[in-house]
């Protein structure tokens, strides 16, 4: 499934915003707008004003004076200003409160990720600031702010032009930054964002140069509320820094234990499992059977109501269910993802208890026997069958999640199934015949149980929680493994617990933090390619293990994902359902059916996946590649229709392209090389599959092909389709800590050996999607849980 996570990502231009002239008590005239930030149900408007030098003052063309009035929600806040139309690749100004001081810092992001410290020469001088219980206000001079240059990264500019608009983005959060007293305070993703187009000619003022002198005189800082202040009176004010010049190099905040319970209070453990997702939960649960002490550390909040999750729409109030428990609400993460998805990855992943199994569509496929062909001995299909049987006995698949035994809005199964059936494709129940993926089609199979999400959190985790040798800690991030040479002695954490957690003698650390989280912990522990460890060392020099202890392994280098390509069609019998409205403004009979009987459309994974189809296509290189066609209700690619379908081609097993994930100076994980169609044989196979499918669909004249337009040449279609994570990712990332016998220590591709142990270490292991040596046939979560079952036999 596709997802566009964005800081300032969903912003739309708001040129209709009303700007007017506003003179503050210092006599500065701004071209200013009031705007609603929507960060709380009832909160006053914010203000942004811009004053520009006269066009004749060309030496000042790279600066402005800004005015911000920021409403403060009860949960705290920060507000950011972007000096162009998007968050990445331009100068960002962050503002927040430290007590009664307004703090500022320049940041820079190369993607929709937590920004790094800005390293260019922008300079901010506070002209005045004030704080009261409902607002903070800042008037500042921003020099070198319309051109930017993040050393070694990207340069850009937006110099004011006569008759033009200065595009300025804003973002406001509903959480106070961590460590608010330091300039490098940490932030979590904002809640709301938007854009202004400020008329340059209206913002210019010939008195500008006289106002800049205000910055030279601290005594002239205003300490009283201004007449335009939206509400309330000023209770205190101060000038925090007379000049916040961003000339320091990028620095990640080292974990500090100013908050959180001392981690040492947890005692020491035989197994420390890092990450409570598809791999970590079942593995930790099964390891409790050894009788040894097992600690599962999860960085996020609880998701399901079963473990204390709270996020829910009004209609679930009073129940023990959250939005994560109701399949029909699984798409809510595409509406609001703050506190759910990982803010430090450039792609979508769940950073909440359950990981991907909390946020995904619950598709649950018994692994194809060929999916194990690339695994080493001990992990071949025959080795895996006992583990797979145990998994499916615990979490059976269902094709009909509704308790009334009915399918809901499955019209596309009839439409496409008829065409495929007429052409010799066989209908299957895929969970009974996982190997039949050559010219087959079937219904979606889900891990849902009793109309709820079910899966590892409802089964394995419940078992584990009943054991007294198991402990789960939440909201606790593992920063790194502490080690002496190749032997781990524990982990360093921050969050709800802070400090070091130790291992018992003979203990093991197992990373189950996912295809990006496990590489990140390894990098921060001095394990990975030297170029990545060097970046970490520069970012957190005091915390990184000495370079003499680094272990050089190809962590992050074999990355794969299903390459997806959508086609969109409409057909008159198809009905789409408004699952977004099911959150905010649901149909009463549907919520009633769900709440009283676990029946109806809300038991289906949003937006309903009516049919799947599979075939194998052999590329010019003679390698057979698995294609999965995943059909979902609802159009995409800008097509609007209430009877639309998006049919997505997943290029899977057999594809040979590999990408790479790397870390940047803000310690964000990015996909620096996309794994899609690097090998032309992969592209050729995808195009062949597409030609076959489009040819079949032409047989039904009731189908209106909308995208690509009927008759489009298939090669041309692929040529214009962006090869980016945003366009192609299926969120099925694997292989960043590849398992194999070709040790990366000796120039091979493997990071972990067939016993899951990281090469060059004695007691550090990985078990999650990242070890899968080659992208699988279908959605991977059941495969990962099966690997965890098998791993519990070994660890």
Ligand X SMILES: Cc1cc2nc3c(=O)[nH]c(=O)nc-3n(C[C@H](O)[C@H](O)[C@H](O)COP(=O)(O)OP(=O)(O)OC[C@H]3O[C@@H](n4cnc5c(N)ncnc54)[C@H](O)[C@@H]3O)c2cc1C
- Which residues make up the interface to ligand X (CB under 6 A)? 1, 3, 274-280, 297-300, 348-351, 355-357, 359-363, 477-478, 512-515, 517, 521, 731-732, 768-769, 779-781, 784
Q: How far is the CB of 181 from ligand X (least distance, A)?
A: 25
Nearest CA to 353 out of 310, 305, 302, 307 is that of 302
Q: How far is the CB of 2 from ligand X (least distance, A)?
A: 9
**Cα distance between residue 211 and residue 24, in whole Å:** 11
Q: How far is the CB of 790 from ligand X (least distance, A)?
A: 14
Helix (H) or strand (E) holding 196: strand 192-199
Read off the tokens for 249: 């190099």
Q: How far is the CB of 605 from ligand X (least distance, A)?
A: 7
Q: How far is the CB of 358 from ligand X (least distance, A)?
A: 7
- Report strand pairing: 294-297 vs 268-274: parallel
Q: Collect all residues with Cβ–Cβ distance below 8 Å to 115 and sequence separation of at least 6.
A: 87, 92, 94, 107, 108, 109, 666
Asked whether 761 and 489 are in contact (CB, 8 A), the reply is: no
φ, ψ for residue 227 (rounded to 5)?
A: -65, -25
Query: Which is closer to ligand X, CB of 529 or CB of 780?
Result: 780
Q: Collect all residues with Cβ–Cβ distance below 8 Å to 134 and sequence separation of at least 6.
A: 44, 71, 72, 231, 232
Query: Which is closer to ligand X, CB of 339 or CB of 369?
Result: 339
Q: How far is the CB of 657 from ligand X (least distance, A)?
A: 18
Q: How far is the CB of 472 from ligand X (least distance, A)?
A: 11
Q: How far is the CB of 638 from ligand X (least distance, A)?
A: 21
Q: For the chain, give the longest Cα–Cα distance.
A: 84
Q: DSSP state, 605?
A: P
| Residue 220: C-alpha distances to residues 97, 211, 233 (Å) | 21, 11, 19
Q: How far is the CB of 460 from ligand X (least distance, A)?
A: 12
Query: Which is closer to ligand X, CB of 32 or CB of 628?
Result: 628
3-state helix/strand/coil string of 658-705: CEEEEECCCCCEEEEECCCCCCHHHHHHHHHHHHHHHHHHCCCCCCEE
Query: Which is closer to ligand X, CB of 288 or CB of 736?
Result: 736
SS3 783: helix
Read off the tokens for 669: 């994980």
Q: How far is the CB of 253 from ligand X (least distance, A)?
A: 15
Q: How far is the CB of 751 from ligand X (least distance, A)?
A: 14
Read off the tokens for 51: 């004053």
- Report strand pairing: 19-23 vs 29-35: antiparallel
Query: Which is closer to ligand X, CB of 62 or CB of 768?
Result: 768
Q: How far is the CB of 431 from ligand X (least distance, A)?
A: 13
Angle at 240 between CA 235 and CA 245, to 5 degrees: 150
**Cα distance between residue 555 and residue 735, in whole Å:** 9
Neighbours of 431 (CB within 10 A): 18
Query: Which is closer to ligand X, CB of 43 or CB of 767?
Result: 767
Query: Which is closer to ligand X, CB of 279 or CB of 740?
Result: 279
Q: How far is the CB of 521 from ligand X (least distance, A)?
A: 5
* Ramachandran sector of residue 283 (left: φ over 0; alpha: ψ -120 to 50; beta: rest): alpha
Asked whether 496 and 520 are in contact (CB, 8 A), the reply is: no
Q: How far is the CB of 732 from ligand X (least distance, A)?
A: 5
Residue nearest to ligand X (CB): 277
Query: Which is closer to ligand X, CB of 240 or CB of 280?
Result: 280
Query: Which is closer to ligand X, CB of 31 or CB of 516?
Result: 516
Dihedral angle, C-alpha 490, 492, 495, 498, nearest 10 °: 80
Q: How far is the CB of 780 from ligand X (least distance, A)?
A: 5
**Cα distance between residue 467 and residue 37, in whole Å:** 46
Query: Which is closer to ligand X, CB of 46 or CB of 513?
Result: 513
Q: Locate tokens 């409902």: which residue? A: 134
Query: Which is closer to ligand X, CB of 349 or CB of 501?
Result: 349
Nearest CA to 476 out of 311, 272, 293 is that of 272
CA 220 to chain centre: 45
Q: Locate tokens 């909440």: which residue? A: 352
Query: Which is closer to ligand X, CB of 131 or CB of 274?
Result: 274
Q: DSSP state, 346?
A: S
Q: Locate tokens 């990184």: which residue? A: 544
Neighbours of 31 (CB within 10 A): 24
Query: Which is closer to ligand X, CB of 49 or CB of 350?
Result: 350
Helix (H) or strand (E) holding 382: helix 381-394
Q: In what order do the strands lie in the sheet with 101-108?
A: 116-117, 101-108, 91-98, 78-82, 165-172, 192-199
Query: Which is closer to ligand X, CB of 204 or CB of 480?
Result: 480
Q: How far is the CB of 331 from ligand X (least distance, A)?
A: 9
Query: Which is closer to ligand X, CB of 567 or CB of 667?
Result: 667
Query: Which is closer to ligand X, CB of 68 or CB of 472?
Result: 472
Instruction: Give the N- to C-terminal CA distance of the chain in Å, as an integer.
Output: 33
Q: Collect all residues with Cβ–Cβ distance below 8 Å to 385 and sequence separation of at least 6.
A: none
Asked whether 328 and 745 are in contact (CB, 8 A), the reply is: no
**Cα distance between residue 516 and residue 524, in whole Å:** 12
Q: How far is the CB of 1 from ligand X (least distance, A)?
A: 5
Q: How far is the CB of 189 from ligand X (least distance, A)?
A: 14
Q: DSSP state, 718?
A: H
Query: Which is closer to ligand X, CB of 440 or CB of 731?
Result: 731
Query: Which is closer to ligand X, CB of 351 or CB of 555?
Result: 351
**Cα distance between residue 240 and residue 236, in whole Å:** 12
**Cα distance between residue 234 and residue 255, in whole Å:** 34
């Amino acid at each position: 499934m596709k997802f566009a996570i964005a800081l300032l990502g969903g912003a739309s231009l708001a040129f209709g915003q009303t700007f007017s002239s506003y003179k503050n008590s210092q006599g500065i005239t701004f071209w200013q707008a009031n705007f609603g930030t929507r960060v709380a149900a009832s909160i006053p408007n914010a203000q942004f004003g811009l004053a520009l030098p006269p066009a004749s003052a060309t030496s000042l063309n790279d600066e402005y004076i800004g005015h911000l009035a920021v409403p403060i929600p009860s949960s705290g806040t920060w507000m950011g200003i972007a000096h162009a139309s998007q968050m990445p690749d331009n100068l960002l100004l962050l503002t927040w409160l430290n007590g009664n001081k307004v703090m500022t810092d320049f940041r820079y992001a190369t993607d929709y990720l937590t920004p790094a410290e800005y390293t260019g020469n922008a300079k901010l001088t506070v002209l005045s600031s004030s704080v009261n219980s409902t607002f903070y206000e800042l008037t500042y001079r921003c020099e070198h702010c319309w051109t930017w240059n993040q050393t070694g990264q990207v340069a850009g500019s937006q110099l004011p032009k006569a008759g033009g608009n200065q595009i300025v983005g804003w973002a406001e959060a509903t959480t106070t930054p961590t460590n608010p007293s330091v300039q490098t305070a940490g932030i979590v993703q904002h809640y709301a964002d938007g854009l202004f187009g400020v008329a340059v000619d209206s913002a210019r003022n010939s008195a500008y140069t006289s106002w800049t002198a205000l910055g030279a005189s601290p005594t002239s800082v205003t300490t009283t509320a201004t007449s335009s202040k939206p509400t309330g009176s000023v209770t205190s004010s101060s000038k925090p820094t007379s000049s916040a010049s961003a000339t320091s190099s990028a620095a990640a905040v080292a974990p500090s234990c100013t908050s959180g319970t001392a981690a040492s209070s947890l005692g020491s453990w035989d197994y420390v499992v890092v990450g409570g997702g598809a791999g970590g939960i079942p593995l930790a649960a099964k390891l409790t059977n050894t009788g040894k002490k097992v600690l599962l550390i999860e960085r996020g909040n609880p998701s399901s109501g079963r473990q204390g999750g709270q996020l829910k729409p009004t209609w679930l109030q009073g129940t023990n269910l959250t939005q994560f428990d109701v399949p029909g609400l699984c798409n809510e993460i595409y509406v609001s993802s703050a506190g759910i998805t990982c803010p430090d990855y450039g792609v979508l992943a769940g950073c909440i208890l359950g990981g991907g199994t909390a946020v995904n569509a619950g598709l649950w496929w018994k692994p194809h026997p060929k999916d194990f062909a690339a695994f080493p001995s001990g992990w071949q299909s025959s080795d895996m069958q006992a583990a797979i049987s145990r998994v499916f006995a615990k979490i059976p698949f269902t094709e009909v999640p509704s308790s009334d035994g009915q399918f809901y809005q499955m019209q596309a199964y009839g439409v496409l199934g008829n065409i495929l059936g007429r052409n010799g494709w066989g209908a299957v129940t895929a969970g009974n015949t996982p190997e039949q993926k050559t010219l087959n089609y079937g219904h979606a199979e889900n891990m849902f149980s009793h109309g709820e999400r079910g899966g590892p959190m409802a089964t394995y985790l419940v078992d584990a929680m009943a054991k007294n040798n198991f402990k789960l800690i939440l909201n606790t991030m593992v920063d790194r493994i502490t080690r002496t040479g190749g032997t781990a002695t524990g982990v360093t954490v921050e969050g709800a617990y802070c400090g070091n957690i130790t291992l018992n003698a003979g203990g093991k650390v197992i990373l189950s933090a996912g295809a990006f989280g496990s590489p990140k912990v390894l990098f921060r522990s001095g394990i990975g390619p030297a170029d990545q460890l060097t970046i970490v060392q520069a970012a957190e020099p005091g915390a990184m293990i000495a370079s003499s202890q680094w272990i050089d392994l190809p962590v992050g280098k074999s990355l794969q994902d299903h390459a997806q390509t959508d086609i969109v069609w409409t057909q008159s019998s198809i009905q789409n359902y408004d699952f977004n409205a099911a959150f905010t403004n649901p149909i009463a009979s549907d919520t009633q059916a769900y709440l009283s009987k676990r029946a109806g459309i809300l038991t289906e994974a949003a937006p309903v996946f009516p049919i799947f189809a599979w075939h194998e296509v052999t590329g010019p290189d003679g390698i057979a590649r698995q294609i999965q066609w995943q059909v979902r209700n609802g159009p995409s690619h800008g097509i609007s229709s209430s009877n639309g379908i998006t049919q997505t081609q997943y290029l899977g097993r057999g594809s040979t392209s590999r990408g790479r994930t790397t870390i940047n100076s803000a310690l964000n994980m990015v996909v620096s090389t996309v794994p899609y169609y690097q090998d032309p044989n992969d592209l050729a196979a995808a195009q062949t599959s597409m030609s076959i499918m489009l040819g079949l669909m032409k047989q039904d004249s009731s189908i209106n092909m909308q995208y690509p337009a009927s008759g489009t040449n298939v090669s041309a279609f692929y040529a214009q389709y962006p090869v980016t994570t945003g366009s192609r990712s299926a969120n099925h990332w694997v292989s960043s800590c590849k398992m194999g016998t070709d040790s990366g220590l000796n120039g091979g591709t493997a990071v972990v050996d067939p016993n899951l142990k990281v090469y060059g270490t004695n007691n550090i292991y990985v078990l999650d999607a990242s070890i899968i040596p080659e992208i699988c046939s279908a959605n991977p979560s059941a495969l990962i849980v099966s690997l965890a079952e098998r791993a519990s036999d070994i660890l």
